Copies of this chain bind each other. A is one copy, B any other.
Amino acid sequence: MPPMAKSTTAGTLQEASAALNGLADVGEGRQRVVIERVTPELDGGRFPIKRVVGDTVVVECDAFADGHDVIACAVRYRGPGDTEWRDAPMEPLANDRWRGQFTVDTLGRYRYTVIGWMDRFATWEHQLHKRVEAGQDVAVDLLIGAELVAEAAAQAPAPEAAALHAYEQALRAGDAQAAFAPDLAARMAAHLPRRYASSYERELQVEVNRPLARFSSWYELFPRSASPEPGRHGTFRDVIARLPYVAELGFDILYLPPIHPIGREFRKGKNNSVVAQPGEPGSPWAIGSVEGGHKSIHPQLGTLEDFHALVAAAKSYGIEIALDIAFQCAPDHPYVKERPEWFRARPDGSIQYAENPPKKYQDIYPFDFESRDWQGLWKELKSIFEYWIAQGVTVFRVDNPHTKSFRFWEWCIGELKQAHPELIFLSEAFTRPKVMYGLAKRGFTQSYTYFTWRTYKWELTQYLLELTQGEPREFFGPNFWPNTPDILTPQFYGGQRSVFLTRAALAATLTASWGLYGPVYELMQHVPVQGREEYIDSEKYEIHHWNLEQPGSLRPFIARLNRIRREHPALQRNESIRFHRVDTNFAENEQLIAYSKATPDLSDIILVVVNLDPNATQAGWVQMPAAEWGLEGDYQAHDLLTDARYTWRGEFNYVELNPQAMPVHILRIRRRVRDASGFEYFA
């Protein structure tokens, strides 16, 4: 980036008199550049956009001034540790639009805006050029230029000033050609004061997260089902023993359902029955008992030391432990007695349990965000995060955040991230789109999505375009889960292996963050509760024992998916996705979905083709943007799942996927290159 001159917006003696003359609100009236429609900007600057460390922020604006003088613009930005603004130059596009960019390399909040000013030297040089071309007398114009150069020289350090003075002399001596020396233009850009620079009215913000905020692979398991001995309650130590398995699968976040003491009052039994039988463990989401609440550990899982050991052991595998934060209480949670004002009382003196009339959830008391002690409640809830942050947790999955106050989340996550910008919050808000987006704007890093219910080609395409090309790309971090402990969708009911393969592959390649609830997924559990999109005999209400060595487990496939994701930067971000036509008999094939992702330099191009039909082989011709990708003549489509290599050519190429074998291609597109000795290969 070239050095740029300091801007000055005022520095005038006139300002005081302006105030006296009824022009007080105008400020420096000589600012002639107008800056409008800065992008990206969310809701008039109300919310920050989001990026991860190392990203580029491309900023555009409309900028213009009165008359025909040349203007210049710069993106003005400041990182979380910066005491001064930095400027990045902008270039004009067509139609008064300007573009510049800066890179974010520090966690936390960046600020940015745009400034613009009259480029006095460029204006002069441009007009002089036309006068010289027309053969006009330019003697006076050269004197005007000499004065500009002298003004810059007065601001420049000594060696620069000397060079500028030499030009000044040349111009005073009538040497018009001196005006057009390229180094003079550069020196003038660096040193001529930007008189009366204007600034865009708003300061915008970027929340900069760590790369894991965008590119992450989540695995969820119930610790209590992690015991190697059937019938024994699993522990954190059992989870430690499970870490090599999770690492082999390639996940980097291990997410645990709530680990707190489970309430006894109104405890739910197997398959969500209203009354638990003696000895039934209850739902981990019914939090709190005499053993403690949200800052305590369910005794059967182990001790705080065991938890520390788990966090440390996971770290040694490159895995972070994510905790589930569910802000709700079992009736025997200590808060209920200690802070009754945080719950809603009914006229009969009882506490309002959770309801969605006529359904009643008597095992759960929601917090009352209209409590007269809402400040106390907010601070206590924030302190729950802080407690677990102190235990080494930096990733949280938040249960049903859309049933807690939006103002609370904005404050809570804002405060936490100010102290800990490395935190990641996954929103479990399966609700209406604006509510999900509203939570993301107010701080949630990632969110569950509608992917689980998007199975047709048209709806997957439409949804991905909304997420990656629409405004949500600036703030919403989609995380695709084929299943969760709450959700088993109908496509799995038949237990077809092809469905498990395709849904995992779609989730792992459509977006940069995905997750699985296991081991039920890799073991292809698929029997629902009759009439509900939920697993029968759910781990939510009972302890299971899983045979990870079961033949046919999807373990190698999932491990391969995650390895491909790690090795291919194209799959580690979302916005480059594009969908490609697949034709069969000259019509779009609705069962074959094809999409690609590429790095900006096209060094990594991944094409995914999925057969959405679990029952029949589908074949068709996929349309490649071969010219755009610089693919001339033959090129190679290298299947990273099977290692098969196909020689392709031109725009349309044949694909065929058999659901009984492998219904997915993840193809690396390799260009033919020639090395120094003339040997050809595909890179």
Contact = CB atoms under 8 A, between A and B. Distances in A.
Interface of A: 14, 17-18, 21-23, 26, 29-32, 34, 36-37, 41, 43-46, 62, 64-68, 95-96, 118, 127, 130-131, 133-134, 136, 140, 143-144, 147, 195-196, 201-202, 346-348, 350, 355-358, 369-375, 378-379, 402-408, 411, 432-435, 438
27 contacts: A14-B374, A21-B375, A21-B379, A23-B378, A23-B411, A26-B411, A29-B378, A29-B405, A30-B369, A30-B371, A32-B369, A32-B370, A32-B406, A32-B407, A36-B43, A36-B438, A66-B402, A66-B403, A67-B402, A95-B432, A96-B432, A96-B434, A131-B357, A131-B358, A136-B357, A144-B346, A195-B370
Nearest to A403: B67
A22 B195 CA distance: 42
Contacts of A130: 357-358
A3 to B, nearest CB: 25
A407 B29 contact: yes
Nearest to A46: B201
B64 A17 contact: no
A355 B45 CA distance: 40
Contact of A434 (B64, B202, B404, B435): B64
Contacts of A118: 370
A134 B357 contact: yes
A408 B29 contact: yes
A144 B346 CA distance: 7
A375 B435 contact: no
Given A127-B355, A346-B144, A374-B14, A26 B407 contact: yes
A215 to B, nearest CB: 29
Contact of A14 (B14, B41, B375): B375
Nearest to A441: B36
A403 to B, nearest CB: 5
A95 B433 contact: yes
Given A43-B36, A357-B130, A358-B133, A64 B29 contact: no
Contacts of A43: 36-37, 44
A70 to B, nearest CB: 13
Contacts of A37: 43
A357 to B, nearest CB: 4
Contacts of A372: 14
A41 B46 CA distance: 14
A133 B358 CA distance: 8
Contacts of A136: 357-358
A98 to B, nearest CB: 11
Which of A34, A147, A402 is most buried by chain B, counting CB atoms within 10 A of its CB?
A: A34
Given A43-B37, A375-B14, A144 B347 contact: yes
Contacts of A23: 375, 378-379, 411
A155 B43 CA distance: 37
Task: Please name the 9 residue pairs, one residue from A and one from B, whose CB atoms are nearest each other, closest first.
Answer: A44-B44, A134-B358, A130-B357, A143-B347, A96-B434, A127-B357, A67-B403, A29-B374, A30-B370
A64 B438 contact: yes
Contact of A438 (B34, B355, B405): B34
A17 to B, nearest CB: 7
Given A370-B30, A406-B32, A17 B375 contact: yes
Given A29-B374, A370-B30, A405-B32, A356 B96 contact: no
A469 to B, nearest CB: 19
A18 B372 CA distance: 11
A44 B202 CA distance: 10
B34 A406 contact: yes
Contact of A375 (B29, B195, B196, B370): B29
Contacts of A405: 29-30, 32, 66
Nearest to A64: B435
Contacts of A22: 379
A433 B127 CA distance: 24
Given A140-B346, A195-B370, 9 more contacts: A26-B411, A29-B408, A32-B405, A36-B438, A62-B434, A66-B402, A130-B358, A143-B346, A147-B347
Nearest to A27: B407
Given A32-B406, A432-B64, A18 B375 contact: yes
Contacts of A14: 372-375
A444 to B, nearest CB: 13
A210 to B, nearest CB: 26
A347 B144 CA distance: 7
A39 to B, nearest CB: 12
Nearest to A33: B406
Contacts of A133: 358
A158 B356 CA distance: 36
Contacts of A402: 66-67
A320 to B, nearest CB: 28
A128 B433 CA distance: 28
Nearest to A202: B44
A62 B44 CA distance: 15
A119 B71 CA distance: 53
A472 to B, nearest CB: 13
A408 B26 CA distance: 9
B66 A369 contact: yes
A144 B344 CA distance: 11
A440 B36 CA distance: 14
Contact of A435 (B96, B374, B408): B96
